[in-house]
Structure 1
Amino acid sequence: MAARLLSHKVADLCLGKPPLKSLSASATIRHALTALKSTDDTHISLWTCNHHHISDQSLINPCRCIGKISMVDIICFLSKEDNITSPSTALNSPVSVLISPDTSVVRHVDPDTCLVDAIDMIINGAQNLVVPISNRTTLSNSKRKQNLHKEFCWLTQEDIIRFLLSSIGLFSPTAAYSVEALGIIDSDILTVNYHAMASTAVEAITTSLADQTSVAVIDDDGILIGEISPLTLSFCDETAAAAIVTLSAGDLMAYIDCGGPPEDILRLVETRLNERNLLGMFEEFGVYSSSSSSDDELLSSPLTMKSGRYSRSSSYSARITRMAEAIVCYPGSSLVAVMIQAIAHRVSYVWVIEEDCSVVGIVRFSGMLEVFREHLESMMS
């Protein structure tokens, strides 16, 4: 069975995966915002050309996926001091300003790339592996040849962890060891105080998005209260930028919580925007504040999440059922238990806490993959 596992290629993990939603790298942030609102995906891939219209010549010099962006990238960009007074201008900026300078985050791979090599790429920093997939439509032989590799899917850390979990018996007894014993608890974590302004955490949110982790919200004693998760934030819309620049970290957790922000939090955002003469921030998004709207207009205003992605209940409720509550384990939790926990909640990390709820660190998929990689090495020797 070990030989069978090692024989798998990345193409095997791509079966049934939908093609990537793409956007030209020459587009504006406004274009990206529209694209993200029209899909259930949390990310849009950015390309140096429109890869849905690749010519035969371009097969020699193929289009390249150069990065990915999410709603969180846009929200954090709009939350910057230079952009909060004129979000309309910010939205007209090229989407390239949101792309990570780390080109290793997205890697193109051949469908025949072996599983072990794919794991190595992720351990070395890749978050998404871009894999060409064939057009499965029934075509003549000549047309079939021309349409090969015009669509792509991508593999994530979660895809590989989920695949390895299906063969977890091969990793005995390692999978039963505690995360502490395996040495995969990372103490280098991102935190923000519950009472601190959420705007002080923008850089941390951006970093956690790049690292596929989260920002722990703690009290003065280091007790874990909750988290500001990029995954949860990705289901908001651009108006969440106003919440970030006006609310505390604790209030922001309530704002991005499951089902949308409570009315008192919305009123607080509006009041503080008004105090800073920033109500124009909402107006530029096409939102009308309560001070200039009738009650009926307010009920349908995006200020009450009309344009928010919370309204997409089919995807939101299925993926975000835990709200701003952090997923936790203990130093003595087994690796397999933590894997199942993370996969069940669609996150790539689990917070590690002590019995008193003080934060010890975080366990990430990348750390788990390092453990499995060592085990696979022993299988190959």
Structure 2
Amino acid sequence: MASVFLYHVVGDLTVGKPELEEFYETETIGSAIRAIRESTGCGITVWKRKTHMEMAENNDTRQQRFVGILTSLDVVSFLAKPQCLEDQDKAMKTLVSDVVVPDNALLKIVDPGIRLIDALEMMKQGVRRLLVLKSTVWKGMSKRFSILYNGKWLKNVDNSSNLSINVSAPSSAASSASSSSSSTPPFMRNKFCCLSREDIIRFLIGCLGALAPLPLSSISSLGAINHNYSSIDASLPAAEATQKNPGDPSAFAIMESTPDGRHRILGEISVSKLWKCDYIAAAWALANLSAGQFIMGIEDNVSSRWLTDCNNNSLDNGVESTRPRKISSMSSGYSPVSPTFGVGRGTYRGRSAPLTCKTTSSLAAVMAQMLSHRATHVWVTEGEDDDDVLVGVVGYADILAAVTSKAPSLSALTPRSIIELRLENHH
């Protein structure tokens, strides 16, 4: 298992990644909606503009310009405010800086040569995005320069016949890397790409063989189930989601109580569910419907029929229309139903059903579920299929913690043990 973390660096994950296009806090909410829909995740990084466009920017200055991450749930919650529903034109023209929650710690600028294990540790501590220098020199570099000790490159020459390693000159290798960086053409220096936790997990799922037997272990045995999830009773107003901080993952389980006092999950309000929806219609529903009613409408809201209507009627030049329009339950795609939710789990079957797994599900299966559905989490249930009694949730952070829990501390590896690991890997 250690070899996966030892022989790979963050630069390996940047190959093929698009260059970051900064989204500024001075943009409007209407522009943010389009950017979130077109993003590869459920949120976008928000930046302050450069004060001096002509001057070169170091990492510290760039880090200071990062504001936070704006998600689909943030936008819908904002648009659900009474004043926004009354004046949609004004709401859509609101600056992103008035909505995004500032949190500079959610992004970290890193060198492409840092170890994968170090990147995982950062994300376990709460980092959501890694900003990595994008350069053409990072094409399979870890196969040529993969020996690391205490976070530094070790000079080595690797060919089919021998393995010569100078373990006494990490500073020499570092200066060599610095020299290589300084020789990079100026136009390459400021090109960055952004790696998310999904990117890390997508990479790891391609290395499942090297991680054995961990991927086949149950999420329960690995301690990957997070029991501190956020929830809302189905009979309560959906607006409860705007008054609470869901934490990580950014999702609320919509539940109903069973006769024996347990909680059955019916659906969810989350960044992934709201990602591609009609934000204005979802905001109206969030403000006016119960949580149970909301989740039955949200899936119809993202259907092809609804998206076609959304594209024809609510988009101007690719941005959510700022023209005021009257939103009702009929026009929003949400159909009010009885507030009584004792009709059983079957009412919520189909497209509105949440993504779930069992406590006995393997880590590999849960990872595959999340990636195939582009979800930030999977709810964990127990009991029969029709019960769906909620016991917890597995999110990105939980998977990263589980993957690294059995890995040895690579920072404590000696040069000899590193060589032995590499020789073992060659055999």
- Calculate the TM-score normalised by the size of structure 2: 0.67
Compared CA separation, residues 211 and 323, structure 1 to 2 (3 A): farther
Whole-Å Cα distance in 2 between the matches of residues 328 and 57 of structure 1? 48
* CA contact 1:255–1:261 (8 Å) conserved in 2: no
* CA contact 1:186–1:363 (8 Å) conserved in 2: yes
**CA deviation profile, 1:27-54 (whole Å, cap 9, x unmatched):** 3334424544666764332222269x95
Whole-Å Cα distance in 1 between the matches of residues 14 and 67 of structure 2? 20
What SS is found at the alignment partner of 1:116? helix
CA shift, 1:362, in A, is 0.9
* CA contact 2:254–2:267 (8 Å) conserved in 1: yes
Equivalent residues in 2 for 1:1-381 (5 A)?
2-3=2-3, 5-36=5-36, 42-49=42-49, 55-59=54-58, 62-63=61-62, 64-134=65-135, 145-204=185-244, 207-208=245-246, 211-221=248-258, 222-239=263-280, 240-258=282-300, 260=302, 285-288=323-326, 303=332, 323-355=351-383, 356-377=387-408, 381=413
* CA contact 2:30–2:321 (8 Å) conserved in 1: no
The structure number with the bigger radius of gyration is 2
What SS is found at the alignment partner of 1:223? strand
Whole-Å Cα distance in 1 between the matches of residues 228 and 59 of structure 2? 43
Compared CA separation, residues 143 and 85, structure 1 to 2 (3 A): farther
Compared CA separation, residues 126 and 324, structure 1 to 2 (3 A): farther
Whole-Å Cα distance in 1 between the matches of residues 252 and 333 of structure 2? 25
Which amino acid in the other structure matches residue 239 of structure 2? S
* CA contact 1:135–1:147 (8 Å) conserved in 2: no
* CA contact 1:106–1:127 (8 Å) conserved in 2: yes
CA shift, 1:72, in A, is 2.7
What SS is found at the alignment partner of 2:185? helix
Whole-Å Cα distance in 2 between the matches of residues 80 and 165 of structure 1? 41
* CA contact 1:350–1:362 (8 Å) conserved in 2: yes
Tell which has more relative contact order, 1 or 2 (C-alpha 8 A, sep 6+). 2
Compared CA separation, residues 12 and 258, structure 1 to 2 (3 A): farther
Whole-Å Cα distance in 1 between the matches of residues 26 and 18 of structure 2? 24
Structure 1 residue ranges without an equivalent (≥5): 137-141, 264-281, 292-297, 306-321
Whole-Å Cα distance in 1 between the matches of residues 373 and 59 of structure 2? 41
* CA contact 2:296–2:352 (8 Å) conserved in 1: yes
Which amino acid in the other structure matches residue 361 of structure 2? S
* CA contact 1:216–1:227 (8 Å) conserved in 2: yes
CA shift, 1:354, in A, is 1.1
What SS is found at the alignment partner of 2:369? helix
Q: State the Cα RMSD in Å.
A: 3.5
* CA contact 2:237–2:290 (8 Å) conserved in 1: yes
Whole-Å Cα distance in 1 between the matches of residues 213 and 183 of structure 2? 50
CA shift, 1:357, in A, is 1.5
Equivalent position of 2:309 in the other structure: none
CA shift, 1:290, in A, is 8.4
Compared CA separation, residues 283 and 245, structure 1 to 2 (3 A): farther
Which amino acid in the other structure matches residue 368 of structure 1? I
Which amino acid in the other structure matches residue 119 of structure 1? L
Compared CA separation, residues 333 and 290, structure 1 to 2 (3 A): closer
Structure 2 residue ranges without an equivalent (≥5): 138-181, 306-319, 335-349, 414-427
Compared CA separation, residues 148 and 88, structure 1 to 2 (3 A): same
- Calculate the TM-score normalised by the size of structure 1: 0.75
* CA contact 1:67–1:99 (8 Å) conserved in 2: yes
* CA contact 2:230–2:252 (8 Å) conserved in 1: yes
Whole-Å Cα distance in 2 between the matches of residues 195 and 232 of structure 1? 20
CA shift, 1:62, in A, is 4.5
What SS is found at the alignment partner of 2:277? coil
Compared CA separation, residues 122 and 323, structure 1 to 2 (3 A): farther
CA shift, 1:233, in A, is 0.6
* CA contact 1:229–1:324 (8 Å) conserved in 2: no
What SS is found at the alignment partner of 1:377? coil
Whole-Å Cα distance in 2 between the matches of residues 327 and 211 of structure 1? 16
Whole-Å Cα distance in 2 between the matches of residues 340 and 40 of structure 1? 17
CA shift, 1:358, in A, is 1.0
